[in-house]
Amino acid sequence: MTSKEEWDFVHSLKFDEQLEYEEAYFIKMNYISMLKKYEYVTEIQEARSELENKFRLSNNANILLSHADELYTQCRFKECLEVTTRLLELDMYNQACLPIHIVCLHELREKNKLFLFAHELVEHSPDKAITWFSVGCYNFLIDQNDEARSYF
């Protein structure tokens, strides 16, 4: 779906007909916070802010992931890495967060951190594709392109 289609879909749902106002508002804000971050940025930020402040979900994995996704989309890699690091402190193997975290380490040229992170993933999850993606990103970062290609 495009950003507009996602937006239209969420706004077509009849939350208030099925739930109490507070519950409907909460669910709608959750859905809005998960939309693609290319359009409606202000509305998505407001929804996330409501979830963080009104519902006290500032340490919720989905809210942190939404924030990281927004920062990544805006190429704000340093801030994004801070958010993904915080999220991974709460849930070390959050599968949705791992690709963003790995790419931020690559974009910021954090060779040592990416090496250690990839090594930890190899030890913990050698059967996961994301593990070998991290190894490939590390090899690409250190200009071992032929080696990196074998992981992509």
Q: Which of 43, 58, 73 corresponds to the end of one domain?
A: 58
**Residue 31: partners with Cβ closer than 8 Å, 6 or more residues away:** 10, 13
Backbone angles phi, psi at 150, to 5 degrees: -70, -15
Does any domain span residue 149?
yes
State residue 81's pLDDT score.
98
In a shared domain, residues 51 and 95: no
Does any domain span residue 74?
no
State residue 1's pLDDT score.
87
**Residue 100: partners with Cβ closer than 8 Å, 6 or more residues away:** 65, 68, 69, 72, 80, 84
State residue 145's pLDDT score.
87
Does any domain span residue 27?
yes
State residue 149's pLDDT score.
84
Q: Which residue stretches of the chain have pLDDT < 50?
A: none
What is the value of pTM for the model shown?
0.88
State residue 37's pLDDT score.
85
Residues of the domain holding 144: 83-152
In a shared domain, residues 151 and 94: yes
Does any domain span residue 12?
yes
State residue 16's pLDDT score.
87
CA–CA dist 51, 29 (Å, integer): 7
Count how many domains the chain has. Answer: 2
In a shared domain, residues 93 and 152: yes
State residue 72's pLDDT score.
96
